[in-house]
């Protein structure tokens, strides 16, 4: 072995030193090393469990968010539907009010037209009566034959119509 550069007594000394070092490390540090490895294994396992729990919570939170969003959409649809319905009701109500107002205005206009028609008829009757009285006064003042009587009425009516149109 010496030909290979290995000295037997040095080799034995190194083996003994290694065994002593191994025994010292085994008795002094082996339990600590095993405890550290066990503790590390437990931390890794706990981290994995925590990560799995966090993933489950994230999934649950995502499902809850989707549920809330779906509820919000449904609520929004309901609000829009109610708003559209209220808008339609208000529109119908306003249309009904407008129709009623138009009806009242039409009735007032018809009443006004009827009142003016009666007034006009009354005024015409008064004018006709006045004209008849004046015509009768003239006829009474003048005794005329039928031809003169007609001429007199025509002149009177022409004169009165000219005066009335002015």
Do 61 and 55 form a contact (C-beta atoms < 8 A)? no
List the alpha helices (DSSP H) in the chain: 8-141, 146-165
Lowest model confidence (mean pLDDT) among 80-89, 91-100, 145-154:
145-154
Q: Residue 60 has which token pair? A: 């649950």
Whole-angstrom Cα distance, residue 12 to residue 18? 10
Q: Which residue has the higher pLDDT, 110 or 5?
A: 110
Distance of alpha carbon 34 from alpha carbon 32, whole angstroms = 5
Please report, for the chain, the start and end positions of each structural domain, with discontinuous segments joined by +.
40-165
C-alpha distances out from residue 162 to 135, 155, 157, Å: 15, 11, 8
pLDDT of residue 27: 87
Range 1-13 average pLDDT: 79
Region 63-78: what's the mean pLDDT?
A: 95
CA angle 55, 64, 72 (to 5 degrees): 150
The angle at the Cα of 164, spanning 160 to 166, to the nearest 5 degrees, equals 125
List C-alpha distances in Å: 145 to 49, 139, 152, 157: 137, 10, 10, 18
Rounded to an integer, the average pLDDT of 23-31 is 86
Q: What is the pLDDT of residue 63?
A: 96
Spatial separation of the C-alpha atoms in residues 154 and 166, rounded to whole Å: 19
Q: Percent of the chain scored above 70 by pLDDT?
A: 91
pLDDT tens for 104-128 read 999 999 999 999 999 998 888 878 8
Q: Residue 30: is its pLDDT beyond 80?
A: yes
């Amino acid at each position: 072995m010496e030909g290979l550069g290995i000295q037997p007594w040095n080799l034995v000394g190194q083996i003994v030193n290694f065994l002593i070092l191994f025994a010292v490390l085994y008795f002094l540090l082996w339990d600590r090393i095993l405890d550290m490895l066990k503790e590390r294994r437990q931390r890794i396992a706990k981290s994995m469990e925590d990560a799995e729990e966090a993933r489950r919570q994230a999934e649950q939170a995502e499902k809850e968010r989707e549920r809330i969003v779906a509820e919000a959409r449904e609520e929004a649809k309901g609000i829009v539907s109610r708003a559209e319905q209220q808008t339609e009701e208000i529109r119908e109500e306003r249309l009904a009010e407008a129709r009623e107002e138009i009806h009242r205005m039409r009735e007032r206009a018809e009443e006004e037209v009827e009142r003016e028609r009666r007034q006009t008829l009354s005024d015409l009757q008064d004018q006709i009566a006045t004209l008849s009285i004046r015509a009768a006064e003239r006829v009474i003042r003048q005794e005329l034959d039928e031809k003169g009587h007609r001429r007199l009425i025509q002149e009177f009516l022409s004169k009165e119509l000219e005066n009335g149109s002015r």
